[in-house]
Structure 1
Amino acid sequence: MNNANKELMLSINDKSKLLFKHIELIKKSSLHWEIIFNRTDKYNAITNEMYERITEIFDEAAKDKELILLSITGKGKFYSAGTDLTNSAESFTSSTTDIETIIKQGKNRLQKFIDSIINFPKILIAFVNGPAIGISVSTLGLFDGVYASSCATFSLPFTRTAQSAEGCSSFVFPNLMGSIHAKEILLFDRQLTAEEAQQRGLVTRVIDDNLFENEKENICKHILSLPKGSLLASKALMQRWNIDTLKIVSKKEIDTLEQRWLTEEFAEAIFTFINRRKKSNL
């Protein structure tokens, strides 16, 4: 192997190690796996590679015959800052790939990620340990339970970044909250406290931050104590009536996003965001 190939292999291995560090998969038992967002220096923002890794885990978990429960949480003070727009900006300014190809790749990556949640046959629980932004909020309506720390907040800066709704939120949120309340968060960039999110049906229960870790374990133990066959059969029955609709919604949302990504308005918004981050050293 020549030096160039050795350097390439080392680079791939380094990226792989970093990816597995950023997305931790803890197999707590044969019945329960936990995904942990672990990119604390970037507020657990999700990169392209992290999306792919999470989708792989969902696919693996869906096929596992023993698994009942998949839970997701964040390490540190944030749950997740959503999609890493710095990562997206770097892709858009890459000189090695044309914009249309990058957008197509992003569209396919997002579609697979959201489909993996829509199709997921096991129990899916979010433990929102801190602020949640963007796609880490929009997809919560697809989960089976959302338990939030009292210090958690929820925001969807779609319009501020010149984008549009994803994660089936354009359909699920109005059904959960009512049209007026959904528009406040989807259109007008209103941040919700944990208590407000619970009042609007997005959060199952708010837990005092000091008790959050202990209560997480209690919730998981309770779920795992229930008869497995009944639990999963009941989820499948509830999924059945909406799954086709959710897939149609997700496709339309992502088609709309694709068009937004091609606009000058989006380009201006993303670079304004990046410059603001650089100035604040975030």
Structure 2
Amino acid sequence: MDIKETIIETHREGIQVVQYNKPYRKNAIDPVMYQRVISILNSAAADDSISVTVLTGTGDFYSSGNDFSVPVEDSKNNLNILKDYIKAFITFPKLLVAIVNGPAIGIAATTLALCDLVFASENSYFYTPFTKLGIVAEGCSTFTFPRLIGDRKATEMLLCNHKMSAKEALDCGFVNYLYKPEDLQSKVWDKIVEVSKLPKHSVTATKKLLRDTVRSELLETNDKEMEELHTIWTMGTSGVRSKI
């Protein structure tokens, strides 16, 4: 399938929408899709016509996580791509919004903590089964989850493979708003359009102030998580083809 089909990019009045579009694999993200999103985010960062970037999925999943369907010997390159993908979230200077239209698993769940606003469907859930797969958490979740949802809940999620429901995610502050599945794509846009019209300089300057205090720690966490993943994959204790 062509890259333009697996990642759909559209624009509407200063809002850039990026859709994971591989519904036959529950929008699992492969290396080519990662590279496309990296390019989109890095380009949008310097594009004055874009004030908000929105991430969402097609079909009934936001994303089922990694889909590295490549030979094991390419795992180092995959990790470099994954590291750059996470870095693009960390360094993105504008508003980054996620519309979670269904379950978010692995990297799709962890990177939500790097977004500025998260709108979710009531039928979504958030699942990070890293230890179940014999690997370690990524997406800077070992830093962001305790800060966002507390140590206890972060331990449940990242160590004990707890599947967090949409209601629980709202209650603990992991998402901002919940919508009925049939209302998500219509009602969520009122809020997104509202924030897209805020003064750009004010938004970017305020986000910079918010992120400057933790950016170096996020980048360092990303490095450390990738190092641990590389060690595990090199040892062969986890299948590189697993979806996480």
Give the shorter-chain TM-score range. Answer: over 0.9
1:186 partnered with 2:158: yes
Q: Residue type matched to 1:63 in 2?
A: A
Structure label with greater radius of gyration? 1
Question: 1:210 Cα shift?
Answer: 2.0
Q: Which residue of 2 aligns with 1:45?
A: 28
For the residues of structure 1 that align with 2:236 and 2:53, how far apart are their CA atoms? Answer: 39
Question: 1:230 Cα shift?
Answer: 1.1
Question: 1:239 Cα shift?
Answer: 1.1
Q: Which residue of 2 aligns with 1:108?
A: 80
Structure 1: runs of 5+ lacking an equivalent = 1-14, 93-98, 275-282
Q: Which residue of 2 aligns with 1:78?
A: 61
For the residues of structure 2 that align with 1:211 and 1:60, how far apart are their CA atoms? Answer: 31
TM-score between both structures, scaled by the size of structure 1? 0.83
1:128 partnered with 2:100: yes
Q: Which residue of 1 aligns with 2:16?
A: 33
Match of 2:174, SS state, is coil
Q: Residue type matched to 2:19 in 1?
A: I
Question: 1:71 Cα shift?
Answer: 0.3
Q: Deviations over 1:148-172 (max 9, x none)?
A: 0011111001112211011100011
Higher RCO (CA < 8 A, seq sep 6+): 2
1:253 partnered with 2:225: yes
Equivalent in 228, 232, 235 of residue 207 of structure 2: 235
Identity of aligned residues (%): 33
Q: Residue type matched to 1:91 in 2?
A: P
Equivalent in 55, 68, 71 of residue 91 of structure 1: 71
Equivalent in 215, 234, 238 of residue 266 of structure 1: 238
Worse-superposed segment, 128-137 or 222-231: 222-231
For the residues of structure 2 that align with 1:242 and 1:22, how far apart are their CA atoms? Answer: 32
Match of 2:71, SS state, is helix
Worse-superposed segment, 148-157 or 194-203: 194-203
Q: Which residue of 2 aligns with 1:174?
A: 146
Q: Which residue of 1 aligns with 2:126?
A: 154
Q: Deviations over 1:215-248 (max 9, x none)?
A: 1211111112222221111111111111111101
Question: 1:70 Cα shift?
Answer: 0.1
For the residues of structure 2 that align with 1:261 and 1:200, how far apart are their CA atoms? Answer: 33
Q: Which residue of 1 aligns with 2:5?
A: 21
Question: 1:177 Cα shift?
Answer: 1.4
For the residues of structure 1 that align with 2:223 and 2:95, how far apart are their CA atoms? Answer: 24
Q: Residue type matched to 1:48 in 2?
A: P
Match of 2:53, SS state, is strand
Q: Give the helix-richer structure, 1 or 2.
A: 1
For the residues of structure 2 that align with 1:194 and 1:83, how far apart are their CA atoms? Answer: 21
Q: Deviations over 1:32-62 (max 9, x none)?
A: 1000111011100001100111101011101
For the residues of structure 2 that align with 1:197 and 1:124, how far apart are their CA atoms? Answer: 18
For the residues of structure 1 that align with 2:105 and 2:29, how far apart are their CA atoms? Answer: 11
TM-score between both structures, scaled by the size of structure 2? 0.95
Match of 1:202, SS state, is coil
Runs of 4 or more consecutive aligned structure 1 residues displaced over 2 Å after TM superposition: none
Q: Tell me the number of residue pairs that the alignment of Structure 1 and Structure 2 aligns.
A: 243
Structure 2: runs of 5+ lacking an equivalent = none
